[in-house]
Amino acid sequence: MIHMIKFHIQYRRYFSLIFAVALAACQSPGQTPQPPVAPKSTTLTEIEALMASASKQVPTRPTIPTAVNKALLSAGQSDKASQADKNPRFNIDVVEAPIKDVLMGLVANTEENMVVHPAVSGNISLSLKDVSVDEVMQTLRDVYGYEYTQKGKTYRV
């Protein structure tokens, strides 16, 4: 029985030692937490100023790629007689060019107008010589299926 009491006391010492070590391991260094930094707030007047400046910005007209513009203007620019003509003729040679760029470039230096619906998309390849805007539009309708209407000097695709 004495042996049992010694074992019990020794067991209690080890348990106390393990408990003290475990408790010390849970302790954290005495650091005070930093207060959270509030995010920078935007005032109502700043928001209104941004909205006012954004509403004043005018969207810019997309630029026509140089290759498309060059292909459309190659023949029509050199002949002064065709400049005076109300229905200028030109050569067009494009490969896998965006249809919107071709259509806008087609009327760029003419007295005609072009309105293209936002849903119109795709790339086209054309090589036509001595054609008018109307002939190109008919070809695009026949070959690629781009429907259009013409009223006065305005084409609507």
Q: Phi and psi of 101, rounded to 5°?
A: -65, -40
User: Given its phi and psi angles, is residue 132 left (phi above 0), alpha (psi -120 to 50 degrees) or beta?
Assistant: beta
Residue 144 lies in a domain: yes
Q: What is the CA radius of gyration of the chain?
A: 40
DSSP conformation letters of 67-81:
HHHHHHHTTTTT-HH
Rounded mean pLDDT, 1-11: 56
pTM value is 0.48
Q: Give the mean pLDDT of 38-58.
A: 69
Nearest to 87 by CA among 127, 124, 126, 136: 136
- Domains in the chain, number: 1
Structural domain contains residue 3: no
Are 99 and 146 within 8 A, CB to CB? yes
What range defines the domain where residue 108 resides?
Answer: 66-156
Residue 7 domain flag: no
Separation between Cα atoms, residue 67 and residue 61, nearest integer Å: 18
Instruction: Give a yes or no: residue 61 inside a domain.
Output: no
The mean per-residue pLDDT over the stretch 20-43 comes to: 65
User: How does DSSP classify residue 124?
Assistant: E
Q: Is residue 47 part of a domain?
A: no
Does a structural domain hold residue 123?
yes
Mean pLDDT of the chain: 76
Residue 94 placed within a domain: yes
Question: Per-residue pLDDT for 89 more than 90?
Answer: no
Could you tell me the pLDDT band of residue 142, with boundaries at 50, 70 and 90? very high
24-34: pLDDT as tens digits: 666 666 666 66
Average pLDDT on 28-48 reads 66
Q: Write the CATH number for 88.
A: 3.30.1370.120
pLDDT given at position 57: 64
Domain assignment present for 111: yes
Q: Please, what sign has the CA dihedral across residues 66, 68, 74, 76?
A: negative
